[in-house]
Chains A and B, each alone.
Chain A
């Protein structure tokens, strides 16, 4: 295979990998948005209302009484440890994240399908996703230890995934440019 062909091939497999991560990222940001919408301050768990655990429901969900009670505590952890700015910040960040994940799918699709593509859209997309990961990471660092424990590690994983993808696109792009000269 020629060097141009190899460079195009790099783009093709990068595109497929990017589509896979794009789909997973979209699910991740959508779930986060749903989470922030549902867990609103001033709701029942925030008012310290005791958990209501009916026997039949426990059996149906195969839960112990303690697990049922801890489900309320789980919500209380999120609400009590979120600074005032955190919910609105997360709603904005995950909304932008959904748009960025959709854009990354388009960029990945163009990487996988373009003959001799330049990968500029993918560069922009992964750069944007990296910035979002950094913004989410900084926000989580500025919350308490309970939220940091939930957010920091997955954010770090996403950061490195997007960093790898960005570097790979830069190299594939350079290889294509070099092959075309």
Chain B
């Protein structure tokens, strides 16, 4: 598509540069899994509490943990790739808008990583074993501890709510650029 005339400055040319294919792929993978985790976790927490008779939570929780751990690994990989690919651009003078976007992305990654990590730590303190995708048993590194389980469970919950708020802002910004037709959104749809 022909660039809008508003995109004439050098700064904006920089912003509209297409993203590497791997980043775009990981971005959409994260987006789909994050929203599945939100939707499924709201439902699974309404299931009966676990006991010998009631095992309804077993599959959803295992799946939640498996996806969460995979998400963490993808997010770490994505941050690493972004650090490598954007390292060369770090010295370029940035507008306040670019700095805000950078901070927003940083916040998303931070919340995503803390959310996943706190969920895993909370699960470890709960005493429930984690078997990654029903294949690799992750060894228990700590004993059961109810107090720490609650602390990390709270961190998990609040970082997830914060993540949802930041994601809503992120999506609102994406829609703004899409409706405004300023070429910004294209970099996520036309990768290098």
Contact of A31 among B40, B153, B181, B189 (CB under 8 A): B40
Q: Mark A21-65, 1 if CB is under 8 A from B, else 0.
A: 001101110110011011100011100010111101110110100
A94 to B146, CA, bound (A): 37
Chain A residue at minimal CB-CB distance from B174 = A16
A177 adjacent to chain B (CB < 8 Å): no
Quick check: B53 and A71 within 8 Å, CB to CB? Answer: no
Quick check: A17 and B1 within 8 Å, CB to CB? Answer: no
Given contacts A45-B48, A57-B49, contact A113 B54 (CB under 8 A): no
> For the side of the interface on A, what is the size category?
35 or more
Quick check: A27 and B150 within 8 Å, CB to CB? Answer: no
**Interface of chain B: mostly helix, strand, loop or mixed:** helix
Distance of A19 from chain B, by nearest CB (Å) = 8
Contact of B189 among A56, A72, A109 (CB under 8 A): A109
Q: Mark B172-189, 1 if CB is under 8 A from A, else 0.
A: 001100110100011001
B32 adjacent to chain A (CB < 8 Å): yes
Quick check: B185 and A112 within 8 Å, CB to CB? Answer: yes
A94 to B179, CA, bound (A): 31
A105 adjacent to chain B (CB < 8 Å): yes
Q: Which residues of chain A have C-beta atoms less than 8 A from B53's C-beta?
A: 44, 49, 52
Count of B residues near A, CB < 8 Å?
Answer: 42
Q: Which residues of chain B have C-beta atoms less than 8 A from A13's C-beta?
A: 178-179, 181
Distance of B26 from chain A, by nearest CB (Å) = 14
A134 adjacent to chain B (CB < 8 Å): no
A118 adjacent to chain B (CB < 8 Å): no
Q: Which residues of chain B have C-beta atoms less than 8 A from A30's C-beta?
A: 36, 39-40
Contact of A60 among B28, B38, B46, B146 (CB under 8 A): B146
Having A17-B175, A31-B40, A37-B59, one finds 14 other A-B pairs with CB under 8 Å, namely A12-B1, A12-B186, A16-B185, A16-B189, A17-B178, A20-B171, A23-B31, A34-B43, A44-B55, A44-B56, A57-B49, A68-B49, A74-B46, A113-B190
Q: What is the interface of chain A, defined by CB distance below 8 A to chain B?
A: 1, 5, 8-9, 12-13, 15-17, 20, 23-24, 26-28, 30-31, 34-35, 37-39, 43-45, 49, 51-54, 56-58, 60-61, 63, 68, 71-72, 74-75, 105, 109, 112-113, 115
